Structure 1
Amino acid sequence: MIIIKKCGNYRAKFGDGPIWHEGYGLIWLDIAAKKIVTYNPDTEQESVYDAFGWIKSIVPAADGQFIGIYKDGLYYLNFKKGIKMPFAKPEGLNDIHYLNDGKCGPDGQIWVGLSDGFFKRFKESPYTALSHYPFESSKLFSIDAGGNISVKLENITFSNGLDWNRKTNNFYHIDSSKHLIFQYQLKENGDIHFEKIVYSFEMDEGFPDGMAIDADGNLWVALYKGGAIAARLKKPTRIVCICPKKMEVIQEIELPLSHVTSCTIGGENLDTLFVTTAYEPLPEDKVKREPLAGYLLAIPIEQRGVANYQFITNEDKAKIR
């Protein structure tokens, strides 16, 4: 029997980007309302902060600070004090191509991808929701402590859910538009080389979105169904656990709501799956029928998670304590 616990009282229009942090507990985002939410599962203390912009991801730094990944660039961030300072801005950002999911990798750099806003419009139209999107104009970047930017991947449409195997350094990346999870080999010089497609999802399962990795190298993936897809296709909302070696689903968790967005593994023993959800795409009458939609959820699992990699900031440039 799966136990699902609602965490805190904050209900997000579009929850996303959860991370486990030893100091705060869970840090997650309401990207629609531009808020940062913290939740301590031991004390059940919850706090909500202004993100001061359209935040998409948040990355912890080794010195206790954070890097906020916003649609229009990366910023040094102290959300408790309300301080936000520019850090780095990849080329080509605009209203259509914007930054999305990002994490720190084993190289100590931030990896973040671009997303194509036209893809979202294409998939939310009832006329094209089930059609193939033909464009691949986004990229995946890495950014070091000095703000230097390198291109890691091109020919992406909607970059999402990235993580690394802590034992092998294999890099996993989702392009939601293709419904695929890719595995790459991370070289010592920082280059990555394609190895294989780990898993291919059917369109009616939803778009693979936020992703976490456990200590065994299994991938936990949230399957998000946009409004047009959800209206036509009736497969349940799920989190799936995929074994990259077997290239198959080894566990799945069905959730009693329409929209799941991302997940991370945390808790004192790193044995709790924390899941972000959304109610924004739902009509008002359906929001009332989905009491868990928009909340942070906690689900005990048998597997153990791994600690986040932490970004090493340039102390000369990051004086925002």
Structure 2
Amino acid sequence: MNYLVTGGAGYIGGTVSRLLLERGHRVTVYDNLCHSKKDALPSSATFVEGDIADADLLSRTLRNGKFDGVLHFAALIEAGESMKRPDIYFRNNTAGTLTLLECMQQTGTQRLVFSSTAACYGEPKRAPIEETDELRPTNAYGESKLLSEYMMRWFAERMGLRYAALRYFNVAGAIPGYGEAHEPESHLIPLILDTALGLRDNIRIYGEDYPTKDGTCVRDYVHVADLAEAHLLAMDSLATQESAIYNIGNGQGFTVREVIDSARRVTGREIPVIVEARRPGDPAVLVASSAKIQRELGWAPKFDQLDAILATAWEWHQKLRAV
């Protein structure tokens, strides 16, 4: 099969691209490199440098490539930043996705797997969260993704689109030779590992007065390899179903302090901590129920222990920072 991967030079998109290539598929990566570099690209993938808002280039790429499907990762992803600049999140994530949907429609490309987010749920009323739970985002990032899902539903109902939206939670870990390296970095685990390496003086905890067991936020961590596998299963499922929404997670929640303690065990380093005030838009608890995708597609995480996930991230991170 032949696939277009938007945002395929990023952490998750790059991992999915590598898995697709490993399985014998052809891959074209479409990325503007705003948060990544060319050396992050899979060597055997075709590369098109372009922005998701560039309808002419995107249409030309889709038309020339004759793709069997699109996996869409191109997006801004920082919840905190989205509360300061909601405009750029709606322009890039929501309007950019609309451009992609229009270009797919114009070129007859009908299958799409969309990188969505648990932020669609906002502050959930229960844990673990199920796909049928209320959708009330508490930040512009989550809202921008949810609006994209709504558009896909209408394109599916009225224009023949077949799509799967995967709402996932915190992603971590690495595959051999490839892992998380955002520029700039803002995610918890790589920042913790930078602290363990002495590249940062400390790790900051934003809020310790949440209604959780130690006062810090609870999140569900899924290994990037498990997440990549879910994307491939979702794409395959579009041969027999018109649309689907799946949560992806390992079903366990860990507080920020528990993640730091896990990193201390894995790295053997002290990892100093500073506590600061809460950030606006951060829900207290986000933990996924992945029962639906397990039941319907047979997906299950191979990495279900936090220490094991962090160990793969630590191995990658040491090599990354040694360069």
TM-score by length of 2: 0.31
Higher strand share: 1
TM-score by length of 1: 0.31
Higher helix share: 2
